Amino acid sequence: MPADASSVTRTRSDQAGQNPDQEPRDNAAALAGLDALQAGGGPRRSRGEIFRTRVAPPLIALLAAVMVWQLVVALVDPRPDIMPGPLTVGRQVWASVLDGSLPGALATSLWRGVSGFLIAVLVATPLALLIAQWAGLRSAIGPLITGLQVLPSVAWVPAAIVWFGLSDATVYFVVLMGAIPSIVNGMLSGIDQIPPQLLKAGRVLGAEGWKLAAKVVLPAAMPGYVAGLKQGWAFSWRSLMGAELIAIGGSIGFGLGSLLAQGRTVSDMAIVLTAVLSILLVGIVVELLFFNPLEKRLLRGRGLLAR
């Protein structure tokens, strides 16, 4: 029995000694596997697969919606000024492009929407970090910010007209009142989900105050922050359309909301649908070109999404 035990021991030691570099290699392989998992490793999808899974489905849905629209118009045969068909609206879109009214309105609304949203981000981000640092301040104004988020921002239009007149300041004020509360609440939600150990580790390493907020809190709260940015953009775009629709005249430029109001005034449903489709298209393009890639990059960086 002792001989057998010694032989087993020698066998194990011989197996361990056959390849002394095996353990470092195994560790390196394990670390490489973890790195690949964290980076969302795996074969990249081909362009054909990306087209089939991402591009083709919305195009098919859009084509189906247009076909249903045309079918309803053909079967019901409504008055053209009440329910025009896709061809009529398409001709109106083309005419608006040729006379410059649609590109001009689109450029005006995009400039107001993007600039107003960026101003809201610059205001809301430090405000949210400040509120998160002071529990008393959050208890005092947290419910107010939530109430402002629930309040339809178009309700600010009459007050803004009284305060600022028919000017661009009225439009920007309404946009800011729509976007800032959503961004603040989104960031606060992300901060609430940060593990306390992460904040303690940051303080141990010497991060305090705004340094802690910039180096630890903001990166850790990024999922909630991005969700707040996305909602803030949606609120700002809707607020802008409401302000342009109601506040007409003065020094306010001609935007998509103004185009919508023009179609209502002349009872031309083709113009109304041209404006509605343009507003919808901007929302889809911003989502596909900015927020969707930003969210995927964030998830991929955290190992939650494959390439």
Locate 143 and state its tokens: 């419910």
Is residue 45 packed enough to be buried (19+ CB in 10 Å), middle (13-18) or exposed (0-12)? middle
Neighbours of 198 (CB within 10 A): 13
Interval 218-266: pLDDT, tens: 787 788 888 889 999 999 999 999 888 888 766 677 889 889 998 888 8
The percent of residues in the chain predicted with pLDDT above 70, rounded, is 79
3-state SS string for 5-45: HHHHHHHHHHHHHHCCCHHHHHHHHHHHHHHHHHCCCCCCC
**CA 278 distance to own-chain centroid:** 19
Rounded to the nearest 10 degrees, how much is the dihedral formed by the CA atoms of 34, 40, 43, 46?
Answer: -170
User: Whose CA is closest to 112, among 169, 151, 157?
Assistant: 169
Q: Are 242 and 174 in contact (CB under 8 A)?
A: yes
Residues of the chain below pLDDT 70: 1-47, 50-51, 204, 206-209, 249-251, 303-307
C-alpha span between 266 and 208 (Å, rounded): 60
Q: From 3.50.50.60, 1.10.3720.10, 2.130.10.30, 3.30.565.10, which CATH number describes the 82-301 domain?
A: 1.10.3720.10
Can you give the pLDDT at residue 279? 93
Can you give the pLDDT at residue 225? 87
User: Whose CA is closest to 269, among 88, 42, 129, 81?
Assistant: 81
Q: Please state the φ and ψ torsions of residue 302, each to the nearest 5 degrees.
A: -100, 10
Can you give the pLDDT at residue 303? 65
C-alpha span between 276 and 254 (Å, rounded): 15
Long-range Cβ contacts of 204-210 (<8 Å, 24+ apart): 209/133, 210/129
Quote the Cα angle for 98-101-107, to 5°: 110
Residue 203 in 3-state DSSP?
Answer: helix
Locate 306 and state its tokens: 């494959």
Q: Are 149 and 185 in contact (CB under 8 A)?
A: yes
Interval 43-70: pLDDT, tens: 566 667 766 777 778 788 888 888 998 8
C-alpha span between 241 and 248 (Å, rounded): 12
Q: Are 187 and 273 in contact (CB under 8 A)?
A: no
Can you give the pLDDT at residue 95? 92
Domain boundaries, the chain: 42-77, 82-301
Quote the Cα angle for 241-246-92, to 5°: 60
Locate 156 and state its tokens: 């600010």
